Each structure stands twice: as structure tokens, then as C-alpha cells.
Structure 1
Amino acid sequence: MKSSLNILDVVATKKAFPKHHLLDGQVGTVIEILADGFVEVEFHLKKKDDPTLIPLHEKELIKLHFELKQA
């Protein structure tokens, strides 16, 4: 299954993941495409901490867009 996300896409979580200290809407960056619709996302939860890497299914994420697309 080909992922609808690409490496370096900016994404946000659709729900909270308390186990990983993620809120719903937490913003991260896709750093690797894994198997079966999963991607590894890098989150910066605190300014001074190292990034947190978490594998999530692409259905749990929404891709963020920074430019308007022409219809």
C-alpha cells in the first residue's frame, strides 16, 4: 500500500496519544515511510529535549498545507 504522505510532510495528530504525551492536533514531521500505511513522525515536545520519534498510521494524521491550491 502506497502512503499518501511523503518524507518531510508536516502533519498533525487527529487524536491524543497520552502514552506518548501527544495532544490532539500535535504537529510533527514525517521522517520515514514504513510498511502497511505507517510513517515515523518526529515531534518536538519541549524546546530543549531531543525529538521524539513515533510510528503512527497515516489514518491517525492529517497533512498540513501552507500554500493555497488553485481549484
Structure 2
Amino acid sequence: MNSTIHLLDVVALTEDLPRQGLSRGQVGTVVDELAPDAFLVEFSDDDGRTYAMLPLLTNQLIVLHYKPVKPHLTQTT
């Protein structure tokens, strides 16, 4: 989904991965770039314990943003 994934980006799954016990929307962190379109993603709980770590392709991920990507446009009346 996003071609600009970087190390330590927070990402979410775009599909269910039932064999790994992961669901669409689960959040993980990119911990390594394995190839231009493949990343090692770590999934951990609220206590920081890793419960899954697996290689995923770019099309299986979407980068989450916590700040506006573009400047906020305000309307004037």
C-alpha cells in the first residue's frame, strides 16, 4: 500500500494472516529492511513483549501517521 516504508515506521497490516495469528489492522514496527519491497515487522503487546515477528511485503502494510502529512488547509469565509 505504501512505497515509502522506512526503518522504525509504525505500520498496520492490510490483510488477515490467520496462520500467524494476526488480523488486518494490527500494528507493528519495521525493524529491518530485507529487500526493497520486504520488511521485518515486530508486533508487541502493551508491555513491550514481542508476540510475532515476520517478513512482510510492502503491499501487506500501510504506514501510520501521527501528524498531518501535508500542511493543514484552513477555510476562510
TM-score range, shorter chain: 0.7 to 0.9
Bigger radius of gyration, 1 or 2? 2
- Summarize the Cα distance change of 1:36–1:8 in structure 2 as closer, same or farther, 3 Å threshold: closer
Give the TM-score normalised by structure 1: 0.83
- Structure 1 outlier segments of 4+, above 6 Å: none
> In 2, distance between residues paired with 1:49 and 1:5?
22
Aligned residues: 68
Partner AA of 2:20 in structure 1: H
Give the TM-score normalised by structure 2: 0.77
Deviations 1:46-67 (A, max 9, x none): 4568412110001110000000
What's the CA shift for 1:4? 2.0
Structure 2 portions without partners, runs of 5+: 73-77
* Counterpart position of 1:70: 71
